[in-house]
Amino acid sequence: MHDQPLTPEMVPVIKLARSLKYNYARIASYFQINQGRIADVMKGRRFPHIPAASQLPPDFPAA
């Protein structure tokens, strides 16, 4: 199984989820991406200019 590509649409949710203390594994599982992509976003290596979302999607897993 291949990971989904990281898209700009994922980034706001990733940033918000991390600010809410969700771990990399839970976020990566939701998007079906590698945890390294979460790290890339959080370290500013991918899409650093995109701000965090104001709310999580309704289907995002509970903390």
Distance (Å, whole) CA 36 – CA 57: 22
What SS3 string covers 20-51? CCCCHHHHHHHHCCCHHHHHHHHCCCCCCCCC
pLDDT in the model for residue 1: 52
- A 10 A CB-CB count for 21 gives 7
Kindly give the confidence (pLDDT) of every residue in the chain, 63 residues in length, as a single tens digit, with 9 standing for 90 and above. 567 899 999 999 999 999 999 999 999 999 999 999 999 999 999 999 999 999 999 999 987
Ranges of each domain in the chain: 11-42
Distance (Å, whole) CA 22 – CA 13: 11
